[in-house]
Amino acid sequence: MDEILGGRRMRRNRRADWSRRLVRETTLTVNDLIWPIFLVEGSNVRQPVPSMPDVKRLSVDEAVREAEKAEALGIPVLALFPYTDDALRDATGSEALNSNNLVCRACREIKKLGLNIGLLTDVALDPYTSHGHDGLMDGETILNDETVDQLCRQALTQVDAGADIIGPSDMMDGRIGAIRSALDGAGMRDAQIMSYTAKYASAFYGPFRDAIGTNATLVGDKRTYQMDCANTDEAIREAELDIAEGADMIMVKPGLPYLDIVWRLKDTFRMPTYAYQVSGEYAMIHAAANNGWIDGERAMLESLMAFKRAGADGILTYFAPKVAGMLAKAK
Ligand code: PBG
């Protein structure tokens, strides 16, 4: 064997924990985490989401408590998603523009505390429309430009309520540039934009749609605006446009099945690049762990490290509070 290896033994560096730590190339820290939470009407409400173990829909007062917890853990950003009352959903998603909607109220209440934490709000109409689509519709057709006008107003409403980062997740053409100029025109030059740049039409969003109630409302699918899972070059073109239009950060979604896209976008553009470990990925890890088929905690950490290895600067993950707690203990 010595003649074959000529002294080159890869396992030497792996022989002890201290040595493995010494040669470790990638790290996962609490600063890499963005924690998505779900909002619901009421007070003192913590409503379980059956397809997402440990995830709850929270009333605004409870969300405020979670924000304090997030800050204490050192999580840099919370992402807010609303479960809108059915009575408030309509064909145009008008509730998105209500400055007193759930997301805006949560932003205002959390901001009152002056925490060292950023708020990321989702710009898209699906939580508010009776048909569950992200845009305005004429029959079965999504109206791109009309939708973008409404998204601009939604973004202004959110920033006015205290949102720090706007996250357009709608995949309409031209929305990043339009939102940037609307924000700038309103004097909101400091509001950041994290574009859902490469968002694929995916089966992995199922549990999220339970959480915000759009599995019940969605008519048809989102393939005329979200990307085809077969495409890579198209993600590059989407990123080129978003960056030219003024995105501060770009994102790939879903996460683990699309690590090649994360890698390629980071490698090509060197932008702050994020991955969304979506609800279906979270649910799969929990489901397998609950069956005793995998070690859930190890699978969680391994999946998050994989995002970092692929070049992600951070991860939107429902595991955020759990992993932040574990990282704090490990210190
Ligand atoms: C909708 C939106 C979706 C997610 C975030 N924003 C779902 C969809 O496009 O239907 C999915 C997140 C997840 O699955 O965790 N604008």
* pLDDT tens, residue by residue, 231-267: 999 999 999 999 999 999 999 999 999 999 999 999 9
If pLDDT is split at 50, 70 and 90, which confidence band does 140 have?
Answer: very high
Which of 112, 95, 77 is CA-nearest to residue 41? 95
Could you tell which of 123, 129, 205, 215 is best to mutate to test the pocket of ligand 1, judged by most ligand atoms within 8 Å of the CB? 205
Residue 195 in 3-state DSSP? Answer: strand
**Structure-token match 């909002």, residue found:** 39
Could you tell which of 37, 125, 126, 215 is best to mutate to test the pocket of ligand 1, judged by most ligand atoms within 8 Å of the CB? 126
pLDDT at 239: 98
Tell me the per-residue pLDDT of 83-102, one tens digit each, with 9 for 90 and over. 999 999 999 999 999 999 99
Phi, psi of 139 (to 5 degrees): 65, -120
255 within 8 A of 280, measured Cβ to Cβ = no
pLDDT at residue 299 tops 90: yes
148 within 8 A of 172, measured Cβ to Cβ = yes
Please give all residues whose beta carbon lies within 6 A of any atom in ligand 1, as ranges. 122, 124, 126, 134, 169, 205, 208-209, 222, 278-279
Average pLDDT in the 288-300 region? 98
Q: Rounded to whole angstroms, how far apart are CA atoms 53 and 207?
A: 10
Mean pLDDT of the chain: 97
pLDDT at residue 331 tops 80: no
146 Cα distance to chain centroid? 25
Average pLDDT in the 9-38 region? 98
C-alpha 202 – ligand 1 centre gap (Å): 9
C-alpha 1 – ligand 1 centre gap (Å): 53
Q: Which residues are catalytic?
A: 199, 253
Q: Rounded to whole angstroms, how far apart are CA atoms 47 and 55?
A: 8
Tell me the per-residue pLDDT of 142-164, one tens digit each, with 9 for 90 and over. 999 999 999 999 999 999 999 99
**Structure-token match 């951070």, residue found:** 314
Q: Is residue 166 part of a domain?
A: yes
Instruction: Please state the atom number of ligand 1 nearest to the C-alpha of residue 132.
Output: 10
Structure token pair of residue 93? 């998603």
How many other C-beta atoms can be found within 10 angstroms of the C-beta atom of residue 79?
A: 21
Prediction pTM value: 0.97
pLDDT at 216: 86
Q: Are strands 192-199 and 249-253 parallel, antiparallel or unpaired?
A: parallel
C-alpha 84 – ligand 1 centre gap (Å): 14
Could you tell which of 169, 221, 224 is best to mutate to test the pocket of ligand 1, judged by most ligand atoms within 8 Å of the CB? 169
Instruction: Please state the atom number of ligand 1 nearest to the C-alpha of residue 169.
Output: 16
If pLDDT is split at 50, 70 and 90, which confidence band does 196 have?
Answer: very high
pLDDT at 33: 98
If pLDDT is split at 50, 70 and 90, which confidence band does 213 have?
Answer: very high
pLDDT at 177: 98
Q: Is residue 9 part of a domain?
A: no
Q: Is residue 259 part of a domain?
A: yes
pLDDT at 330: 85
- Which amino acid would we find at residue 301? L
How many other C-beta atoms can be found within 10 angstroms of the C-beta atom of residue 234?
A: 14
C-alpha 263 – ligand 1 centre gap (Å): 21
Number of folded domains that form the chain:
1
If pLDDT is split at 50, 70 and 90, which confidence band does 107 have?
Answer: very high
Q: Is residue 49 part of a domain?
A: yes
Phi, psi of 168 (to 5 degrees): -70, 115
- Whose CA is closest to atom 7 on ligand 1? 205
186 within 8 A of 178, measured Cβ to Cβ = no
- Whose CA is closest to atom 6 on ligand 1? 169
Which of 327, 316, 298 is CA-nearest to residue 262? 316
Structure token pair of residue 229? 């899972």
- Which amino acid would we find at residue 82? P
Average pLDDT in the 314-319 region? 98
Instruction: Please state the atom number of ligand 1 nearest to the C-alpha of residue 214.
Output: 10
325 Cα distance to chain centroid? 20
Which of 212, 115, 98 is CA-nearest to residue 161? 98
Helices (DSSP H) in 84-232: which residue ranges?
102-112, 144-161, 175-185, 206-211, 214-217
CATH of residue 308: 3.20.20.70
Q: Is residue 280 part of a domain?
A: yes
Q: Is residue 26 part of a domain?
A: no
Tell me the per-residue pLDDT of 217-230, one tens digit each, with 9 for 90 and over. 898 999 999 999 99
Tell me the per-residue pLDDT of 33-50, one tens digit each, with 9 for 90 and over. 999 999 999 999 999 999
Q: Is residue 3 part of a domain?
A: no
Domain extent at residue 262: 32-330
Q: Is residue 19 part of a domain?
A: no
Structure token pair of residue 20? 């493995």
- Whose CA is closest to atom 8 on ligand 1? 205
pLDDT at residue 302 tops 90: yes
Which of 154, 151, 126, 242 is CA-nearest to residue 193? 242
pLDDT at 137: 97
C-alpha 290 – ligand 1 centre gap (Å): 24
**Cα–Cα distances in angstroms (integers) from residue 183 to residues 158, 170, 280, in the given order:** 11, 17, 33
pLDDT at residue 131 tops 90: yes
Q: Rounded to whole angstroms, how far apart are CA atoms 323 and 304?
A: 9
